[in-house]
Structure 1
Amino acid sequence: MSHTLFIADLHLCEEEPAITAGFLAFLRRDARQADALYILGDLFEAWIGDDDPNPLHAKVAAALDELRLAGVPCYFIHGNRDFLLGQRFAKSCGMRLLPEAQRLELYGRPLLIMHGDTLCTDDEGYQRFRRKVHQRWLQKLFLSLPLSLRQRIAQKMRAGSKQANSSKTMAIMDVNNEAVTYTMSRYQVQCLIHGHTHRPAVHTLTVNGLPAERVVLGAWHTEGSMIRVTSSGTELIAFPL
């Protein structure tokens, strides 16, 4: 059956080779059978610029480009960890960059895809930080710095983020229900797919007086997580790495 796959929150890094190996196997196995693959952010644990010579990046780019050559298009929405990933790297992967929210028509059904961090409106501190780092002038300034300095800044920012999150409740770091219904209503969809929260689940809700669903991808830690969309509906699937 024709289907499209969605993944998010792999947080690939050199320190977690098993996850990278699992992802490469996923590209060779599951993704090859799909009509398309959508990566909804945080493919990498951190991204400090397309000029980073990290061998992991070249390995991932080559595998994604092989998927393209096999006839499966790949699309990418930035996450909060890899929002600086640019056209240069995307071109090397053969994948297309999408805006932070994208409405799709799949198998006769409209749906909305996002990373999901913009829905966590109760986390006001994070939203202020996000608005700041998404300023184009600041991004250009950061990317103009020497690579070694960018690495040190990124390490400090990750440490600061980890410390800040340790004092926040899980509820604050989850999506805001009003933000969800407002966003789905704005894009006129009854299905929303996102990641970011690392809480895989299928949530039922009501949008514009009609039944709707919010399907959340899991992070790739001890197992992989994907969503398969077909003409029959949406399925959240966990699988071994």
Structure 2
Amino acid sequence: MLKSRADTLPCLDVLPGEWIAPPQWRAIDLISDLHLAETTPGTRAALAHYLSHTPADAIFLLGDIFEVWIGDDARHQAFESGLLAMFAQAAARIPLFFIAGNRDFLLGDAMAHEAGLTRLSDPCALQAFGQRYLLSHGDAWCLEDRDYQAFRALVRSAAWQQAFLDKPLKERRNIARGLRERSMAQKAGQAHRPELWADLDAGTVRDALRAQACTTLIHGHTHRPACHALGDDLSREVLSDWDLEAHSPRAEVLRLGPQGLLRLSLPSATA
């Protein structure tokens, strides 16, 4: 376990960009964009129930599992420590794999180790059931959103992360709150203008799939679950976000098995 200030540093032991599923596995679940926060108790409860009851042999968490992660020292706080315990309990029963999203890219060794999360690179190829799938959070390929890509490059730099993690926890929370408020205001302004919604660049996705000898990309980030044909037998599957507090609750799991991909809505999301 890392100590002192380095206790908060992320991404020191991420596994290489390929994972081969054991031959005895019969089902793999993929989820993303849960945005767990103190203000989403319904989503947290749905996740706890799902983790305890899924028949899958492994779960791949493709980013933005937390509404915000401001450093591993936050895991000692009441809310975050509860999430850590929930994941650790699940990881004792079933393997949990994690790809960082744009909200939780600062999740580091200490939290991953204690929560039982095996971190994967983004993207990561998954070989399972005779097929190869490419897994990603997806935000890096929303190339038309140039403002976001510039911001992403800034916050993913080692210098920015070190400067941010050097700040007191309370100050980091205030900074994160301000960034979320700006993001929510921007989304509200675009809510009725689909032409402004950022999406993954199709050409970049095709190139990535071919480079990794994969036929299907599975990703989150956009909150618009669908299957998109890309031509040449290539496709991308978009995961659902989870929001059990919404007027129309939603929580969806993409299950991969020998017969392919199946979308499952949690019962609490369809009640």
Instruction: Report if TM-score (shorter chain) is over 0.5.
Output: yes
Contact 2:202 2:230 in 1 (8 A): no
How far is the alpha carbon of 1:6 from its aligned partner?
A: 0.4
Return the structure number with greater strand share.
1
| Secondary structure, counterpart of 2:66 in structure 1 | coil
Identity of aligned residues (%): 34
Verify: 1:240 aligned to 2:267, yes or no: yes
Q: Which residue of 1 aligns with 2:230?
A: 205
Partner Cα separation in structure 2 for residue 237 and residue 118 of structure 1: 26
Contact 1:223 1:240 in 2 (8 A): no
Verify: 1:183 aligned to 2:208, yes or no: yes
How far is the alpha carbon of 1:87 from its aligned partner?
A: 1.0
Partner Cα separation in structure 1 for residue 45 and residue 187 of structure 2: 28
Verify: 1:231 aligned to 2:269, yes or no: no
Say which of 181, 196, 202 aligns to 2:221.
196
Q: Which residue of 2 aligns with 1:35?
A: 57
| Secondary structure, counterpart of 2:89 in structure 1 | helix
Partner Cα separation in structure 2 for residue 54 and residue 150 of structure 1: 14
Deviations 1:159-183 (A, max 9, x none): 2222334445534412222222122
Contact 1:24 1:60 in 2 (8 A): no
Partner Cα separation in structure 2 for residue 160 and residue 63 of structure 1: 30
Verify: 1:139 aligned to 2:166, yes or no: no
> What's the RMSD between the two structures over aligned residues?
1.5
Structure 1 window deviating more from structure 2 (48-57 vs 145-154): it is 48-57
Deviations 1:103-136 (A, max 9, x none): 0101111110000111211111101100010001
Partner Cα separation in structure 1 for residue 267 and residue 220 of structure 2: 19
Partner Cα separation in structure 2 for residue 100 and residue 163 of structure 1: 28
Partner Cα separation in structure 1 for residue 26 and residue 101 of structure 2: 27
Q: Which residue of 2 aligns with 1:9?
A: 33
Structure 1 window deviating more from structure 2 (19-28 vs 178-187): it is 178-187
Provide the TM-score with structure 2 as the length reference: 0.83
Write out the 4+ residue segments of structure 1 that deviate beyond 3 Å after TM superposition: 164-172
Gapped regions of structure 1 (runs ≥ 5): none
| Secondary structure, counterpart of 1:140 in structure 2 | helix
Partner Cα separation in structure 2 for residue 179 and residue 164 of structure 1: 25
| Secondary structure, counterpart of 1:5 in structure 2 | strand
How far is the alpha carbon of 1:92 from its aligned partner?
A: 1.0
Amino acid at match of 2:153: R
Say which of 76, 80, 89 aligns to 2:102.
80
Alignment size in residue pairs: 235
Partner Cα separation in structure 2 for residue 144 and residue 22 of structure 1: 34
| Secondary structure, counterpart of 1:96 in structure 2 | strand
Contact 1:8 1:218 in 2 (8 A): yes
How far is the alpha carbon of 1:62 from its aligned partner?
A: 1.5
| Secondary structure, counterpart of 1:43 in structure 2 | coil
Contact 1:111 1:193 in 2 (8 A): yes
| Secondary structure, counterpart of 2:251 in structure 1 | strand
| Secondary structure, counterpart of 1:223 in structure 2 | coil
Contact 1:201 1:236 in 2 (8 A): no
Gapped regions of structure 2 (runs ≥ 5): 1-24, 244-248
Partner Cα separation in structure 2 for residue 64 and residue 167 of structure 1: 35
Partner Cα separation in structure 2 for residue 129 and residue 58 of structure 1: 29
Verify: 1:26 aligned to 2:50, yes or no: yes
Contact 1:79 1:196 in 2 (8 A): yes
Structure 1 window deviating more from structure 2 (165-174 vs 43-52): it is 165-174
